[in-house]
Amino acid sequence: MSLHHLTPDQLMATTRSVRKRLDLTKPVEMSLIEECVQLAMQAPTSSIGQNWQFLVVCDAEKKRRIAKWYRKGHEVFLQRRANAQKDRQGPPANPSADARTQTSIAYLADSIQDVPVLLIPCLRGRLNHPDVSSDLVYQATMYASIIPAVWNFMLAARARGMGSCWTTSHLHYEREIADILNIPYHEVTQVALIPVAYTLGSDFKPAPAQPADAIMRVDSW
Query: Where along the sequence are the contacts to ligand FMN (CB under 6 A)?
Result: 16-17, 19, 101, 105, 108, 165-169, 207
Of 176, 194, 189, 74, give the one whose Cα is nearest residue 143: 189
Partnered with residue 121 across adjacent β-strands are: 54
Q: How far is the CB of 218 from ligand FMN (least distance, A)?
A: 26
Q: How far is the CB of 115 from ligand FMN (least distance, A)?
A: 11
Greatest distance between any 2 Cα atoms in the chain: 54
- Closest to ligand FMN by CB, 166 or 185: 166
Cβ within 8 Å of residue 139, ≥6 positions away: 127, 132, 133
Rounded distance, CA 52 to CA 149, Å?
9
State the DSSP string of 119-130. Answer: EEEEEES-TTST
- Closest to ligand FMN by CB, 109 or 180: 109
Rounded distance, CA 183 to CA 110, Å?
24
- Closest to ligand FMN by CB, 150 or 178: 150
Q: How far is the CB of 136 from ligand FMN (least distance, A)?
A: 17
DSSP 164: E
Q: How far is the CB of 99 from ligand FMN (least distance, A)?
A: 12
Q: How far is the CB of 79 from ligand FMN (least distance, A)?
A: 14
Cβ neighbours of 4 (radius 10 Å): 13
Of 164, 161, 185, 188, give the one whose Cα is nearest residue 175: 185
- Closest to ligand FMN by CB, 175 or 186: 175
- Closest to ligand FMN by CB, 60 or 207: 207
